[in-house]
Structure 1
Amino acid sequence: MSKRDIDIATDDGTAKAGLFTPDHGTGTNPGVVLYMDIFGPRPGLDRMGERLADNGFVVLVPDLFYRFGPYSFDPGTAFDDPDTAARMKGMMKDTPVDVVEKDTKAYLQALADNGANGKVGAVGYCMGGQHALTAAAAYPERVGAAASFHGGGLVTDAGTSPHKRAGEMKGAIYIGTAGEDKSCPPEHSATLAKSLREAGVNYMLENYVGMAHGWAVPDHGVYDEAGAERHWRRLVSFFDEVLK
């Protein structure tokens, strides 16, 4: 696996991203956009990009908060400081779904320009889960598989809510929810499953019992190794089956 830091031109500026490529390309390495959680790009997400690349994918980890300039958040302490927590939440609020959806067009092109073949996968964590599902709805001819883990904002009143866009999705969908997660309570899972099923989407929704919001991300305070490994088995087999 090798990593390169690249710049991606968007309609609003230049997004920085990490690009992870397999050491031994087969000529049929699918691309994956990995949508960050609220803490942004960092070594913890690099490790996740590396692991996907080691499994034969060309992985792009873009900085969704590039409009705000340089920043750095420590997942272990960021929410302990009120000012830091407010800044993160403000950046997330000021990077709405439709803005990331527009940026995703450039992310998909960057994957194509860097050797990704065929349909693309999307995976997101925390706020990134919503963006991964949005990518499946917004770019159905490009995104063949999308996965959300402990995603937030999957069922809202907004027109951009993924459950309202199920009819636009043509790819396969995987949703892994935390057993206890205020950002995706049981009623949201039920609404999302109903919308996907009625739209005829090929989907799986799985509840990770005992896991908390953020369990799959290695530097998160609630990281759970057993639960994270289960998530990796599901994610890699899902992308292998659909994209390869």
Structure 2
Amino acid sequence: MTQRQIEVATSDGIASAHLFGDAGAAAGVILYMDAFGPRAALFGMAERLADEGYAVLVPDLFYRFGTYGPFDAATAFSTPETATQLRSMIGGTTQAMTAEDTGFFLAALRQAGATGPIAAVGYCMGGSRALTAAGTYPDDIVAAASFHGGNLASEAADSPHLLAGKIRARVYVGTAGVDGSFPPEQSNRFVDTFRRAEVDFTLENYVGMAHGWCVPDHSVYQVRGAERHWRRLTALLAETLKAD
């Protein structure tokens, strides 16, 4: 399995990205980062997906801010200086920006040889980006998964649930049992909207898990919950990216 760093030219500059997978992988996955940026923990997750036979792209969504970090996922939000920096970067990287960038990410995967179906997978802030990508590029993205994604059905004008009518991908949402960024009122709105739009989706509640439980370097990482997420994710990808 190979790994290489590439540069993806976008409308706003050059986004650094890491590409995983052996040459000849026809199906691709865009892995949208959590708030702490591309790092070893996410690269390990990308390698695990690449081992399933996919070309996996992990782009830096914060590239507009230049050099930053690395951030310690276990302490970044408990340290005032890095917490302020992270909140500024999250707020300054809009859904619209990532949606536009995704067109270039898709092209990068195609150029790398992923000529088959594509999936979008995201964690934390990346979860909402994965769903937005599915609604923005319905002809390209056949599966989308969000794990501990926040604000998936908020009252914001760019909330991902508002794109439900455009999504043709199969969607999986894994939510932490208690998560202030995706409270019950949002999950109810999400389910109602996606059912009315006739989206093929699953929303699963991981009872006992906290926001961030899937990512190994997070302070609330939980092995059993993470392995459950891997079973769900690999099944989704096998059924959509490897379907005959």
TM-score bucket of the superposed structures, by smaller chain: over 0.9
In structure 2, distance between residues paired with 1:207 and 1:77: 26
In structure 2, distance between residues paired with 1:172 and 1:28: 21
TM-score (norm 1): 0.97
Report 1:73-112 matches (<5 A).
Answer: 73-112=71-110
Matched, 1:52 2:49: yes
Task: Output one character per residue of 1:146-195: Cα deviation in whole Å (capped at 9) or x when no partner.
Answer: 00000012012222211111001011100000001100111211110111
Deviates more, 1:153-162 or 1:83-92: 153-162
Task: Output one character per residue of 1:194-225: Cα deviation in whole Å (capped at 9) or x when no partner.
Answer: 11110010001100110000000011000000
Which residue in 1 is equivalent to 2:6?
6
Q: Give the root-mean-square deviation of aligned CA atoms.
A: 0.9
In structure 1, distance between residues paired with 2:9 and 2:234: 29
In structure 1, distance between residues paired with 2:26 and 2:173: 23
The DSSP-based 3-state class of the residue aligned with 2:153 is coil
Task: Output one character per residue of 1:92-131: Cα deviation in whole Å (capped at 9) or x when no partner.
Answer: 0000100110000000000000011322100000000000
Give 1:29 shift: 2.9
Which residue in 1 is equivalent to 2:21?
21
Taking every aligned residue pair, what percent have the same amino acid on both sides? 55
Dislocated runs of 4+, deviation >2 Å: none
In structure 2, distance between residues paired with 1:100 and 1:132: 9
TM-score (norm 2): 0.97
Query: Which residue among 23, 43, 57 is the counterpart of 2:40?
Result: 43
In structure 2, distance between residues paired with 1:28 and 1:61: 16
Which residue in 2 is equivalent to 1:242?
240
* Long gaps (5+) in structure 2: none
The DSSP-based 3-state class of the residue aligned with 1:7 is strand
Which residue in 2 is equivalent to 1:197?
195
The DSSP-based 3-state class of the residue aligned with 1:34 is strand
In structure 1, distance between residues paired with 2:25 and 2:198: 29
* Long gaps (5+) in structure 1: none
CA contact (8 A) 2:25 2:55 kept: no
Matched, 1:225 2:223: yes
